[in-house]
């Protein structure tokens, strides 16, 4: 039989709804897999676990949220021969899983994945650090990683809103930046910066209408926002329009982006929902395609160039 390893984060939101793990073994055996479940115990475990797996492993399933998937991707790209991985969403937001069309029960999602197809996917990098769907910076973005885990486990997505209301600031921080994209140099002042390879960000579907996950490109959005009123207006527009068509947003599609902050950012980058702490003011972004993801059939035509 083929070998499957499930790397499971026991702190994920949906973990508490699982009453027995026998269903995982039974479902995977039906598809020809002999399965092992390995639980993470601390941050960084998922990255180390996948690096240590033997080459006979046919499939690695990420049982957790977007942060767990990021760790698995980070460890996988360090392997001489990356393994095929699959996202089994069990977190609070699960942007990647929802983008692929996974939004039902854990067991139904597992069946949908196993009936899917392995596709090459782009992996983006900020300097040498990979991310699977988004790197962003700006006010309130820290909600993704600073919202207490106890709130997320109890209230799910609503926890982010609860924490966000507590973090309201008097003004929007804006940053003077220089950046280089598609060999052209620019300068401007922006409040929010998004580098992404996803049609869904922060729970909002169809942020971009035509994203492809295997085109060796990523999307850059720089938002010129001055007040909280501007921010609320833009959030409404994002729910009804393609980001690249919204006034006040500079949009680029590229595979190489460099940025320099002329004033030190007051917040950290957020990468796939987790905090990315660094002291430098210069960052470069690029993309590589060296990994396969097992994805559902539902959105393959929409998300991939076949």
| Pair 40, 184 in one domain | no
| Pair 90, 178 in one domain | no
Domain limit, last residue, from 87, 115, 143: 115
**Helices 45-52 and 66-76: angle between axes, nearest 10 degrees:** 40
Q: Which domain holds residue 147?
A: 129-287
| Pair 135, 47 in one domain | no
pLDDT of the residue at 264: 85
In the structure, what pLDDT confidence band is assigned to residue 150 with cuts at 50, 70 and 90?
A: low
pLDDT of the residue at 176: 96
Retrieve residue 153's tokens.
């486990």
Q: Is the pLDDT of residue 9 over 60?
A: yes
pLDDT of the residue at 141: 79
| Pair 99, 22 in one domain | yes
Inside any domain, residue 120? no
CATH label of the domain that carries residue 75:
3.40.50.10330
Distance separating alpha carbons of residues 28 and 233, to the nearest angstrom: 46
| Pair 191, 264 in one domain | yes
| Pair 54, 154 in one domain | no
Chain centre distance of CA 66: 5
| Pair 140, 218 in one domain | yes
Number of domains in the chain: 2
Position with higher pLDDT, 289 vs 275: 275
Distance separating alpha carbons of residues 48 and 226, to the nearest angstrom: 42
Inside any domain, residue 31? yes
| Pair 74, 204 in one domain | no
Q: Is the pLDDT of residue 233 over 90?
A: no
In the structure, what pLDDT confidence band is assigned to residue 157 with cuts at 50, 70 and 90?
A: low
Retrieve residue 260's tokens.
């320099």
Are 192 and 158 within 8 A, CB to CB? no
| Pair 34, 109 in one domain | yes
Most confident listed range (34-38, 201-205, 207-211, 225-229): 34-38
Inside any domain, residue 293? no
| Pair 150, 78 in one domain | no
Inside any domain, residue 292? no
Inside any domain, residue 253? yes
Inside any domain, residue 300? no
Helix, strand, coil percent content, the chain, rounded in steps of 5: 30, 35, 40
Position with higher pLDDT, 113 vs 234: 113
Are 289 and 216 within 8 A, CB to CB? yes
Chain centre distance of CA 228: 26
Can you point out the beta strands (E) in the chain? 2-8, 33-39, 57-64, 85-89, 117-126, 129-131, 134-137, 175-181, 184-190, 192-196, 218-223, 249-254, 256-261, 269-271, 274-276, 282-295
Q: What is the mean predicted confidence (pLDDT) over 184-199?
A: 95
**The dihedral sign for the CA sequence 227, 231, 232, 237:** positive
């Amino acid at each position: 039989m083929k070998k499957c390893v499930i790397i499971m984060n026991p702190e994920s939101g949906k973990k508490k709804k699982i009453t027995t793990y026998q269903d995982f073994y039974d479902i995977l055996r039906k598809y020809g897999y002999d399965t092992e479940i390995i639980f993470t115990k601390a941050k960084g475990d998922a990255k180390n676990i996948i690096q240590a797996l033997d080459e006979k492993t046919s499939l690695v399933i990420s049982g957790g949220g977007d942060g767990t998937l990021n760790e698995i991707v980070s460890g996988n790209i360090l392997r001489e021969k990356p393994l095929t991985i699959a996202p089994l969403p069990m977190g609070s937001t699960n942007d990647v899983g929802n983008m692929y069309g996974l939004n039902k029960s854990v067991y139904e999602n597992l069946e949908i994945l196993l009936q899917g197809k392995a596709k090459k996917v782009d992996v983006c990098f900020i300097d040498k650090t990979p991310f699977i769907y988004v790197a962003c910076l700006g006010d309130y973005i820290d909600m993704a990683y600073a919202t207490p885990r106890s709130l997320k486990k109890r209230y799910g997505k609503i926890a982010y809103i609860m924490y966000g209301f507590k973090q309201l600031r008097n003004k929007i921080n804006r940053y003077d930046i220089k950046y280089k994209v598609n060999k052209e140099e620019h300068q401007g002042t922006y409040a929010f910066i998004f580098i992404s390879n996803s049609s869904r960000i922060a729970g909002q579907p169809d942020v971009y209408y035509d994203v492809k996950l295997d085109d060796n490109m990523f999307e850059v959005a720089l938002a010129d926002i001055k007040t909280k009123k501007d921010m609320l207006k833009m959030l409404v527009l994002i729910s009804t329009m393609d980001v690249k068509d919204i006034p006040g947003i500079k949009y680029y599609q590229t595979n190489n982006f460099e940025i320099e902050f002329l004033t030190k950012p007051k917040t950290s980058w957020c990468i796939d929902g987790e905090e990315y702490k660094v002291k430098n003011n210069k960052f470069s972004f690029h993309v590589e395609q060296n990994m396969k993801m097992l994805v559902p059939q539902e959105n393959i035509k929409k998300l991939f160039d076949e």
